[in-house]
Amino acid sequence: MPTAVLGYAAQSATSAVAPFEFARRDLRPDDVSIEILYCGVCHSDLHQARNEWHSSSYPLVPGHEIIGRVSAIGAEVGNFQPGDLVGVGCMVDSCQTCEACQAGLEQYCEAGCTFTYNGKDRLDQSPTFGGYSQQIVVSDKFVVRIPAGLDLQSAAPLLCAGITMYSPLRHWNVKEGDKVAIVGLGGLGHMGIKFATAMGAEVTLFTRSTSKIEEAKAMGADAVVLSTDAEQMRSVRNYFDLIVDTVPNKHDFNPYIATLKRDRNYVVVGQPEPIEPGINGWDLMMGRKSISGSAIGGIAETQAMLDFSAEHQISCDVEVIDIQAINEAYERMLKSDVKYRFVIDMASLKS
Ligand code: NAP
Ligand code: ZN
């Protein structure tokens, strides 16, 4: 018998996120059932609750920064036991056979990975529902282990914000002394500062917010450049080895690209829309610069990121909220008024 669980869902692009009861499937042989303790609130939750990516199906239960405790396991699960502390990020399945999956890059599955919410189960086509809920059932291949020493509340955002920043820093081989810049100090951006600092880079934050300067430095940033100040932007021309842009809205990339060194790379993680205004090709050519994108990280890399976080005592700066405050949290996130990630205490679902 499928289990009835309580969660919070958006019923349309314009409705508030509100209580919603739905069913979690019976355990398949490779499934792990997880009682959800905490779930981070990603800007992607807001984008999708409001259909800003034009691909939302309703009801939509957001949440892909999930931390919980294993409550039951399927007959063939050998690597998890009831009671284990585990995490689930943005994916719950992939084809497992294509070149990307074989390379441990399930997020780039050539058949399309199955997202934790607003996706379709590969076997029965039922909609996937995310972590704003009591419980989730996930194939063990998409469950990661929370290492001892990580505080559970502040570890939740590692499952998306953390891995989304860790993966491009690793892919582009950030090392001691590299000059790395992060654009935007939100959920993703603040993790970018912490990981790049732990990898030994000299880290700069680009921000619009003077109020964030001191906090960015306390997180490890060596410098902060106000992106609204043309003089400050000029002072870092041709300076950076790698820039990771986390801004969730359309904005001009050109002033940032001017701050890259020759042969270096600008990684977009924030903006899925067409890039506007356009990119000045001349500025790319004269310096042989590249622009690329990056999406979350594979499962093995997510585990490596969690282990790295425990080893380097890296955690997210979080504001813990009750689920009843989720709509207000979205509004505050839109105003960049969160330090620096909301995390829902799922115990509040019961009240
Ligand atoms: P967030 O917490 O809202 O942070 C975004 C930050 O961007 C803000 O704090 C702000 O920083 C800056 N910003 C906002 N609007 C801006 C504008 N109009 N111009 C310039 N800067 C602006 O969001 P998040 O959760 O970090 O997510 C950021 C984006 O990444 C979202 O679009 C999300 O969907 C996407 N995302 C992508 C992946 C992936 O795999 N690629 C994974 C997760 C999320 P300042 O105040 O410092 O300027
Ligand atoms: Zn996310």
Instruction: Give the CATH number of the domain where residue 111 resides.
Output: 3.90.180.10
Q: Do 33 and 112 fall into the same domain? A: yes
According to the model, what pLDDT value does residue 1 have?
83
Of 229, 294, 305, 286, nearest in space to 266 by CA: 294
Distance from the CA of 276 to the center of ligand 1, in angstroms? 16
Q: Which residues contact 164 (CB under 8 A, 6 or more apart)?
A: 188, 191, 269, 294, 295, 296, 297
Please give the residue range of the domain that contains residue 189: 161-293
Q: Do 7 and 140 fall into the same domain? A: yes
Series of mean pLDDT values for 10-residue runs along the chain (351 residues):
94 98 98 98 98 97 98 98 98 98 98 98 98 98 97 98 98 98 97 98 97 96 97 98 96 97 98 90 95 98 98 97 98 95 97 82
Q: Do 174 and 237 fall into the same domain? A: yes
Q: Is the CB of 333 under 6 A from ligand 1?
A: yes
Q: Do 38 and 187 fall into the same domain? A: no
CA distance linking residue 351 with residue 348, whole number of Å: 5
**Are β-strands 31-41 and 135-139 bridged in parallel, bridged antiparallel, or unpaired?**
antiparallel
Quote the tokens at residue 259: 């701050």
Q: Do 314 and 167 fall into the same domain? A: no
Q: How many domains does the chain have?
A: 2
Q: Do 228 and 276 fall into the same domain? A: yes
Which of 293, 321, 337 is the last residue in one of the domains?
293
Q: Determine which residue's CA is closest to atom 16 belonging to ligand 1.
A: 247
**Chain centre to alpha carbon of residue 113:** 15
Distance from the CA of 63 to the center of ligand 2, in angstroms? 8
Q: Determine which residue's CA is closest to atom 36 belonging to ligand 1.
A: 270
According to the model, what pLDDT value does residue 271 have?
79
Which of 278, 293, 308 is the last residue in one of the domains?
293
CA distance linking residue 279 with residue 277, whole number of Å: 7
Q: Is the CB of 43 under 6 A from ligand 1?
A: yes
Neighbours of 164 (CB within 10 A): 29
Q: Do 209 and 339 fall into the same domain? A: no
Q: Do 249 and 183 fall into the same domain? A: yes
CA distance linking residue 184 with residue 205, whole number of Å: 7
Taking CA atoms, 61 is separated from 11, 12, 130, 132, 299, in Å, by: 9, 11, 5, 6, 22
Quote the tokens at residue 11: 């019923």
Ligand 1: atom nearest CA of 209 is 46
Q: Do 220 and 118 fall into the same domain? A: no
Looking at all shown ligands, the one closest to residue 159's CA atom is 2
Q: Do 24 and 115 fall into the same domain? A: yes
Q: Is the CB of 70 under 6 A from ligand 1?
A: no
Q: Crossing angle of helices 161-171/187-198, nearest 10°?
A: 40
Cα Rg of the chain (Å, integer) = 20
Which of 258, 275, 293 is the last residue in one of the domains?
293
Q: Do 83 and 11 fall into the same domain? A: yes
Residues 60-77: b if buried by 16+ CB within 10 A, e if exposed:
bbbbbbbbbbbbebbeeb
Peptide bond into 62 cis (omega under 30): no
Q: 3-class DSSP state for residue 165?
A: helix
Backbone angles phi, psi at 313, to 5 degrees: 55, 45
247, 224 Cβ separation under 8 angstroms: no
Q: 3-class DSSP state for residue 5?
A: strand
Distance from the CA of 131 to the center of ligand 2, in angstroms? 11
Q: Do 46 and 56 fall into the same domain? A: yes
Q: Crossing angle of helices 299-311/187-198, nearest 10°?
A: 70
Distance from the CA of 59 to the center of ligand 2, in angstroms? 19
Neighbours of 86 (CB within 10 A): 18
Ligand 1: atom nearest CA of 208 is 48
According to the model, what pLDDT value does residue 273 have?
85
Distance from the CA of 266 to the center of ligand 1, in angstroms? 16
CA distance linking residue 320 with residue 28, whole number of Å: 33
Beta bridge partners of 268: 245, 293
CATH number, domain of 249, equals 3.40.50.720
